[in-house]
Amino acid sequence: MYLAHKRMPQRTDRELVDAAREGDAEAFGTFVRRHQKRIYRLAAHMLRDAAEAEDVTQDAFVRAYRALDRFDGRSEPFTWLYRIAVNLSLNTIRSRKTRRTGPSVDDPRVEGAMVETRVTIGNPAELTSDRQAAQALAEGLDTLSETLRTTLVLVTVDGLSHGEAAEILGCPEGTIAWRVHEARKKLQTFLEKRGHTREAE
């Protein structure tokens, strides 16, 4: 009986949300574990602050849980969740009394890039160079408008399709395509001016 249960196909997001709506707390827990890292990464790129990103991630799931009855199923659960996280991140940015001019020394985006780099690179000199490149990339992202940065993060960092990003941000796919093109162009110019030609490519 146990083995048969283990072979059951993984439930889809929609099935998990439907079950959670019926009172299955474990189903919602599975949904959280499935998307927690991606929501945190999105918030970290938008907020450039690890503590704020953690708060937004937690708040996004709390709000999603409380709004389960209002989820109408017209969109996929993960795009619905992303929309909540994007709105919370933007609200956090707008509520700041002072705006940052650049990423903090413990910018979660830089640290995330370095963790991935350490898996394949052991040379300290190369690690230092990659940290500088990651820092430059983070600074370049910070020069973009909230709209361009959010769109670029959704499409290029998180790998969402233009259609999915359009649904999350509430705009046409053509607008998403233009934003990604414009953001990449501005970011490339920023990086090339600072001598990071390889990263710009």
Tens of pLDDT along 40-94?
989 988 888 899 999 999 999 999 999 998 888 788 999 999 999 999 998 998 8
Q: Does the residue 32 lie in any domain?
A: yes
Give the CATH number for residue 69: 1.10.1740.10
Decide if 92 is inside a domain: yes
pLDDT of residue 75: 85
What total of structural domains would you count in the chain? 1
201 or 38: which carries more pLDDT confidence? 38
Q: Is residue 111 part of a domain?
A: no
**Tokens standing for residue 194:** 């600072």
Indicate whether 107 belongs to any domain: no
pLDDT for 146: 86
Q: Is residue 78 part of a domain?
A: yes
Within a domain: 124: no
Residue 119 lies in a domain: no
Q: What was the pLDDT predicted at 20?
A: 92
Question: pTM of the full predicted structure?
Answer: 0.74
Res. 185 pLDDT band, cuts 50 70 90: very high
Distance CA 88, CA 90 (A): 5
Is the torsion defined by CA of 138, 143, 147, 152 positive or negative?
negative
- Residue 79: CB atoms within 10 A of its CB come to 18
pLDDT for res 144: 87
User: What range does the domain containing 53 cover?
Assistant: 1-99
Burial class (CB in 10 A: 0-12, 13-18, 19+), 188: middle
Question: 63 lies in a domain?
Answer: yes
| 15-53 per-position pLDDT tens digit | 999 999 998 989 999 999 999 999 998 998 888 889 999
